[in-house]
Chains A and B, each alone.
Chain A
Amino acid sequence: MVEQKTVTLNMGPQHPSTHGVLRVVIELDGERVVRAEPTVGYLHTGIEKTMESKLYYKALPCTDRMDYLAPMSNNLGYCLAVEKLMDVEIPQKVQWVRVALAELTRIKSHLVWLGTHSIDLGAMSMLLYTFRDRESIVDVYEACGGQRMMTSYIRIGGLAHDLPIDFDKKMRAAVSQVKEGLADYENLLTSNEIFINRTRNVAVISAEEAVAWSLSGPMLRGSGVKHDLRKANPYSGYENFDFDIAFGTNGDAYDRYQLRLEEIRQSIRIIEQALDGMPEGPYRAHVPGVVLPPKEDVLYKMESMIFHFKIITEGFKAPVGSIYQAVESPKGELGFYITGDGTNMPRRIRVRPPSFINLAVLPRLVEGMMFSDVVCAIGSIDIVLGEVDR
């Protein structure tokens, strides 16, 4: 009689296919996974605590640093939450720009996901193509916010400054670049036999389970639940745009791949609508005492300068109460729960991190799977450890 024994294997935290510093302790029976235990927290920087000790304005750059692959979505979520708390109305042009940039961010995040996920599965060249196309998106970021990653371009009450002159041109260039790239990705992966074998019926989760595990974003829609916050609870004027919710049927890794490609196409649709119908108007709401006045006014108008000084030095006082504002970030439902306590600093800022909550399902996903598929499962969840650990 041969004694049956399981082997415990440690994967990470420094492992290229864990997309950061994720550690997974895996118990193996031969090549089958008996149990997997993700260990997170290696990148915990206390971002929530940091944000709670700053004025509402000064907490904004912290949001970029959570999901650093989708900084604009995080900016948008935080700004919408503070605007809801302070009851600020946003000019239409700002809403349009925000939608366009948030969708561009979705494409950017999905491109990085596509490149790294394909590398995990052995398609080495994909990363080169996706990063080639991502470059044109980062150019738009640079033109808008002056930085290529941590832009902090979307601000409370509006934008950091007015749109660059060549915004429209740069956006259209980025979109057409991505459109061309999409054809390449499809050629390389969609009917690639190796890719299909590695992803079909891997990391499957049913619709009921996906809801019970509080999954959101592509993880939820991949299982066939047609839920998208942009349609369900429209924010920032999404109700004015015409687009479809992409969803899968089998809830496996291949469905989630196709769904993300479809989301890129839908994002392109939204961006084109936003660019075509871009309204004219101010780039910041006029709410003295809460929203910073435009810099041009600060230099020439006394009242603007006084308000600017007051907001920068002592901020604004938020009412006592709690609000929650969620946006559909590339990874899923990104929510900000902000509690004001009557002072100029938030009592509590809770970030509902889609990556963290989606990652919790990993032990369930990989149970009984082959060891080599664990990498595929981690990849198809699409996590960013900066957001998981915050």
Chain B
Amino acid sequence: MEEQLRGFIKERFGDAIISEDDFRGDQSFFIKPQALIDICQALLDDTELNFKFLADLTAVDWLGHRREKDGRFEVVYNLYSIAHSYRFFLKVRLPAEDPSIATLCDLWPSANWMEREVYDLFGIVFVGHPELTKILTPDELDGHPLRKDFPLTYEQPQFSFNKNDPPEVTH
């Protein structure tokens, strides 16, 4: 399955692949953001590979790590083939300034909430999303909590009632 998938992606989207990784048996491809929709559509349409299950969608913030040079944010698409019981990952690197990528809502309805969550917690914009609003954090909260530069303990979240007050330091 691993070889078959590699062959499929290399053959049809060879120039969109930046690199490949295999860590502890988890196969992943780093791809160019522009090619994401086409690759997902091809995987969805291919009846033999049968990647119809978008298991998960998340992001990683590489701020301050040596891997940051390739782009601060890494968006991870976790695709699963129920027919072959096989899982692999598509990964996209996005810059620190205005990270944005095309939405997958047209391919998978489940991408809706997953993308909203990533938008809420990381501030990554999914272009074309029908309703890109906060989902977990309160509307009054500024910032994106899972970014590495979002303080963990030293600052109270700034809600509307105390927005203009200086941050409360509790350490």
The answer to whether B28 touches A211, judged by C-beta atoms less than 8 angstroms apart, is: no
Q: Which residues of B contact A337 (CB under 8 A)?
A: 56, 58, 76, 78
Q: Is the CB of B52 within 8 A of A213?
A: no
Nearest-CB residue, chain B, relative to A339: B60
- A389, CB-defined interface residue at 8 Å: yes
- The answer to whether the Cβ of B82 comes within 8 Å of any Cβ in the partner chain is yes
Residues from chain A with Cβ under 8 Å of B134 in the complex: 41
In which size bucket is the chain B interface? 35 or more
B103-145 contacts to A, CB under 8 A, are 108-110, 112-114, 117, 121, 134-138, 145
CB < 8 Å: which of A40, A46, A87, A225 contacts B24?
A87
Please tell me if the beta carbons of A211 and B26 are within 8 angstroms of each other in the complex.
no
Across the interface, do A348 and B60 meet the contact criterion of CB distance under 8 Å? Answer: yes
Q: Are B109 and A85 neighbours in the complex by a CB distance under 8 Å?
A: no
In contact, B110 and A357 (Cβ under 8 angstroms):
yes
Neighbour of B61 across the interface among A41, A227, A348, A359, CB < 8 A: A348
- Separation of A326 and B82 alpha carbons in the complex (Å): 14
Q: Which residues of B contact A211 (CB under 8 A)?
A: 52-53, 82
In the complex where A214-B53, A214-B54, A324-B89 touch, is A41 in contact with B137 (Cβ < 8 A)?
yes
A341 near B65 (CB under 8 angstroms)?
A: yes
Query: What residue of chain A has the Cβ atom nearest to residue B50's Cβ?
Result: A211
Q: Which of B53, B61, B62, B137 has its CB near the most chain A CB atoms (within 10 A)?
A: B53
Contact B24 A350 (CB under 8 A): no
Which of A284-292, A306-314, A315-323 is the interface stretch? A315-323
Q: Which of A52, A232, A350, A361 contacts B85 (CB 8 A)?
A: A232
Q: Which residue of B lies closest to A52 (CB)?
A: B146
* Residues of the B chain whose Cβ atoms lie less than 8 Å from the Cβ of A390: 136
Distance in angstroms between the alpha carbons of A361 and B109 in the assembled complex = 9
Q: Any chain A CB within 8 A of the CB of B87?
A: yes
Q: Which residue of A lies closest to B21 (CB)?
A: A321
Q: Does A352 contact B (CB under 8 A)?
A: yes
In angstroms, how far is the closest chain B Cβ from the Cβ of A149? 24
CA distance A87 to B23 in the complex (A): 11
Separation of A212 and B51 alpha carbons in the complex (Å) = 11
In chain A, what residue has the closest Cβ to B61?
Answer: A348
**Chain A nearest CB, measured from B78 CB (Å):** 6
The answer to whether A357 and B113 have CB atoms under 8 Å apart is yes
User: Is A213 a contact partner of B24 (Cβ separation < 8 A)?
Assistant: no
CB pair B24 A214 closer than 8 Å: no
Q: Which of B62, B89, B113, B121 contacts A347 (CB 8 A)?
A: B62
Does B55 count as interface, using CB distance less than 8 angstroms? yes
Which A residues touch B138, using CB under 8 A?
41
Any A CB within 8 A of the CB of B152: yes
Residue of B nearest to A37 (CB): B131
16 contacts between A and B (CB under 8 A): A41-B134, A48-B121, A48-B146, A49-B145, A212-B110, A323-B24, A324-B56, A324-B78, A324-B87, A326-B55, A341-B62, A347-B62, A348-B61, A350-B58, A359-B113, A361-B109
7 nearest CB pairs, A to B: A214-B110, A232-B85, A321-B23, A360-B113, A41-B136, A350-B58, A352-B56
